[in-house]
Amino acid sequence: MPLSSIPNIDSPFAWIALFIFVAAALAADFMMLRQQGSRVISFKDALRWSVIWIALAMVFCGGLWLTLDLSDGRALADVKAGEFLTGYIIEKSLSVDNLFVFLMLFNAFKVPLPQQKKALMIGIIAAIILRILLILVGAWLISRFSWVMYIFGVFLLYTGVKMVVAEEEEPDLQNNKLIRWMQKHLTITHEYHGSALYLVKEGARVFTPLFVVVALIGITDVMFAVDSIPAIFAVTTDPFIVMSSNIFAVLGLRALYFMLAGMADRFHLLKFGLVAILVFIGAKMLMMDFYHIPVGASLTIVLAFLSVTMVASLYVKPKHTGKH
C-alpha cells in the first residue's frame, strides 16, 4: 500500500494519550534520577531499565494497534503498528551512534559519572523538543512539496557513504566553534561543581564545564536528528507515527548509554549495519514512485542488518585493539 494512500492518525485523543504517556514516563525517569543521587548506574540496572523502556514502547504500540483495530479495522491497525515498530527500531539503532559520540564527549571533558546522568537527562528533554520541531517542519515540507522525499533519499545515501569513508576521530575540542564562542563570551570554570550548570560569584554568573557538555550534547543531537528523522519519513508520512516512534526511541537513551558505555568496542561492526539501513532507506525513498516496499519487509530488512552486524562483531576482532 503506497504511503500516500494510507490515512493518518489525526484523532485528538491519540495525541493527548501520547503526550500524557510521555509526560508520565519523563516524570518517572526524573524521580528515579533524584532517588539515585550520585550513585553510579551499574550495567545490571541500565540493562533492566533499557528493557523497561522498550517494554513501554511495546505497550504503547499494542494499545495503538488495539484502538485502531476496534475503530478502523484490522488492516489499518496492522499497518500503523508496523510503521511504529519499524520507525522505532530505525531511530533506536541510529541513536546508538549518537551515544558513542556522547561517550567521546564525556571522556574528553572528563565528566564524573554522577554528572553524566544529569547531562543525559537534560539532553534527552532537549532532544525531544528539537525532534518535535524538526518533525513538524519535515511533515509540513512533505505535505507541500512531495519532491522533498527525493532530497531526503539522496541525503540519506550521502550520509551512509560518508559514514563508511570518513575516519572516526576524537572530537576536536580546541577548534570547536561553539566552545570557542562560549569561551569568548562566557566565564567558564575549570572545575565541576556537582551537578550545577552555573554558579553565582560576586553577583556574576559563572558557568561550569557541565554546561558546555550539555550544550555540545544538544548540538550533537540536532546533527544526528537531521540524519535520522528523514529516515522514518521513508516508512511513514503520518506525523503521529513519526512523532511517537521518535520520542519513544529517545526516552530510553539514558539507560541505554550506561549499558553501552562499558561495551562500546564490542559492537564495532554495528556502524556498517547503520550504513546499510541508511542506504536501504535512501534507496526506498528514491524508488517510491516505481516500487513500494511493504512495511513488514522494511522491518525485516532493518532487523536483519542490525542482527548480522551485532553478531558478527562478537566473532570478528577490531583491527585496532590497542586504541583507547
User: pLDDT tens, 27-62?
Assistant: 887 787 777 666 667 778 888 888 899 999 999 999
Q: Cα dihedral sign for 158, 160, 164, 169?
A: positive
Whether 187 maps to a domain, the answer reads: no
* pLDDT value at residue 66: 93
Do the domain assignments include residue 321? no
What mean pLDDT value characterizes the chain? Answer: 81
Kindly state the average pLDDT of the residues 254-263. Answer: 74
25 vs 56: CA distance, rounded Å: 9
Rounded mean pLDDT of 218-242?
Answer: 82
- Locate 85 and state its grid cell: 515498530
> Is 179:302 a contact under the CB 8 Å cutoff?
no
- Supply the pLDDT for residue 59: 92
Task: Answer yes or no: is 207 within a domain.
Answer: no
Q: Among candidates 255, 268, 281, which has minimal Cα distance to 86?
A: 281
Tell me, yes or no, whether 243 lies in a domain.
Answer: yes
Q: How many separate domains does the chain show?
A: 1
- pLDDT for 292 beyond 80: no
Q: For residue 297, is it within any domain? A: yes
Beta strands in 165-300 (DSSP E): 198-201, 204-207
Structural domain including 271 reads 3-172+220-315
Q: Identify the pLDDT of residue 323.
A: 44
pLDDT > 80? residue 278: yes
Residue 313: per-residue pLDDT: 84
Global pTM value? 0.78
Is 34 part of a structural domain of the chain?
A: yes
Question: Tell me, what's the pLDDT at 61?
Answer: 93
Could you write out the DSSP letters of every residue in 33-91? HHHHTTPPPPHHHHHHHHHHHHHHHHHHHHHHHHHHHHHT-HHHHHHHHHHHHHHHHHH
Q: Determine, yes or no, domain membership for 258.
A: yes
